[in-house]
Amino acid sequence: PLILLWHRRDLRLHDHLALAKARQKTARIVGVFCLDNKILQAKAMAPARVAYLLGCLQSLQDHYQRLGSQLLIFHADPVQLLPKLANTLGAQRVVWTLDTEPYAQQRDLAVAQALREQGLAIATEWDQLMHHPGEVLTQAGNPYTVYTPFWKNWRQLPKASPVSTPKDLQGLSAAEQEKLDPLGLQAIPQLTDLGFSWDQPLPLAPGEEAAEERLAWFVANVLEEYQQTRNFPALDGTSQLSAALKFGVISPRTLWQATVAAWDQSRSEEARASIETWQQELAWREFYQHCLYSFPALAQGPYRSPFQEFPWEENQDHFQAWCAGETGYPIIDAAMAQLNQTGWMHNRCRMIVASFLTKDLILNWQWGELYFMQTLYDGDLAANNGGWQWSASSGMDPKPLRIFNPYTQAQKFDPEGEYIRTWLPQLAPFDTGDLLTGKLSPIERRAVNYPDPVVDHNQQQREFKRRYQLVK
């Protein structure tokens, strides 16, 4: 019997639940990936993310080949393609990993229906989270809307260990492969074939090996100090595994196991506190996916009602200045330069620039949410929407008005001005204190072609609060 494993956000063969279960039934397992125009041509797509995706597909295809099978690539709508493909090959069943995003769920229902109509069997697994939606509920049986109680419950639930990875697979014969040409079987396209361009190195190289190596490096060099290192954007002090997690290039079970092993070997209370802090980040990722699954309307707009009618500014010039990193606030502009040049931004800076967009420029957080999705190589609907709603105070977070002062943030988290100087080299010669407090004179700014501040922080935060009181 032949099983088709339809890959989506599970671009790995290591520690893959649906694969491990399928392998118990047969060695004839072939991977399929559909380049889906509904995703690729959506306005929330980022060149760096597509570059990472294509690289991961290449690595997955190589991995299949090493095991003796194939990853088949089609540029097609999976609802149309999968029944035809399964019939052409006489596949016994199609298996896949479930997803929490609203579009993915609709698509999967349509695919399942189309396959069943043709009499084809399907099997699905939850596999992108340690605990899937429905597993972490309040005592009353409801989904959590606040992180801390979610975490307390999530952390004490028993955790699954990694599953075994097949050492060999059997693929299609040459004659079977020939049958696929009419269906549009193709090689992995170039980025430019899909209408994107990205020529920078990605923050993490695509593929399973790079993610596993990065995890090992992170555990050996950073994890035990993560509680401190994670706050300083000038340091390489976080895992950089966000895109690998988003595309399922590494499994959450593998990450969890690494934290448990590190915990067992840890030598101090501080080390254990750091490991737990990182585990909490993994739980944030799961929390936001549970929220999106249970409250899909989050993807469309604010959760909290005062924000449904909030009188946002419509100032396109301010928005463009924010996107381009030309606000005249060094920490903001450095962070946006990091995003625009690398496709990634440090978490501390994501919080600072998001607060600035919403509380200082008083622009709709959804503009920022979209811009992040158009630029981040780890852009992920649940995490990004969660992060923006948290920053805008429009989400589930119980603390309503969190306003970051960009100068105080810079002083605390970039005390030597190293991050600012890296991303804004034209400001490198200035005094660190002036960089952090923004006390550069108009003449100094002009000399290096750096803009004056677009707004005044104190005035704007008062204005934001005034508007908030009006709608509350």
- Residue ranges in contact with ligand FAD by CB under 6 A: 230, 238-242, 245-246, 281-282, 284-285, 288, 347, 350-351, 354, 372, 376, 378-380, 383-384, 386-388, 391
Question: Residues 209, 225, 276, 281: which is the catalytic one?
Answer: 281
312 is catalytic: yes
269 is catalytic: no
Is residue 314 part of the annotated active site? The answer reads no
Which residue of the set 153, 315, 340, 347 is catalytic?
A: 347
Whether 281 is catalytic is yes
Least separation in angstroms between residue 288's CB and ligand FAD is 5
Instruction: Tell me which of 96, 151, 198, 365 is the catalytic residue.
Output: 365
Question: Is residue 32 within 8 Å of residue 72, measured between CB atoms?
Answer: yes
Distance of CA 383 to the CA centre of its chain: 6
- Closer to ligand FAD by CB, 222 or 454: give it: 222
User: Which tokens is 357 given?
Assistant: 């967009």
Which CB atom, from 26 or from 342, has the smaller least distance to ligand FAD?
A: 342
Rounded to a whole number of angstroms, the minimum distance from the CB of residue 343 to ligand FAD is 11
Toward ligand FAD, which CB reaches closer, 26 or 259?
259
Q: Retrieve residue 169's tokens.
A: 């697979």
Instruction: Using the minimum distance from each CB to ligand FAD, give the nearer residue, 93 or 230.
Output: 230
Give yes or no: 284 in active site: yes
Question: Which of 312, 315, 418, 463 is flagged as catalytic?
Answer: 312
The question of whether 347 is a catalytic residue gets the answer: yes
Q: Burial of 276 by CB count in 10 Å (0-12 exposed, 13-18 middle, 19+ buried)?
A: middle
Report the nearest approach of ligand FAD to the CB of residue 250 (Å): 10
Minimum gap (Å) between residue 155 Cβ and ligand FAD: 14
Closest approach, Cβ 92 to ligand FAD, in A, equals: 35
Q: How far is the CB of 166 from ligand FAD (least distance, A)?
A: 26
The smaller minimum CB distance to ligand FAD, of residues 344 and 450, is found at 344
For the CB of residue 388, give the shortest distance to ligand FAD in the complex, in Å: 5
Residue with Cβ nearer ligand FAD (2 or 241):
241
Catalytic position from the list 126, 217, 256, 284: 284
Q: Which is nearer to ligand FAD, 387 or 406 (CB)?
A: 387
Exactly one of 154, 388, 390, 423 is catalytic; name it.
388
Q: Measured between alpha carbons, how far is 433 from 110 in angstroms, rounded to an integer?
A: 58
Report angle CA 450, 455, 458 to the nearest 5 degrees: 125
**Catalytic residues, which ones?**
281, 284, 312, 347, 365, 388
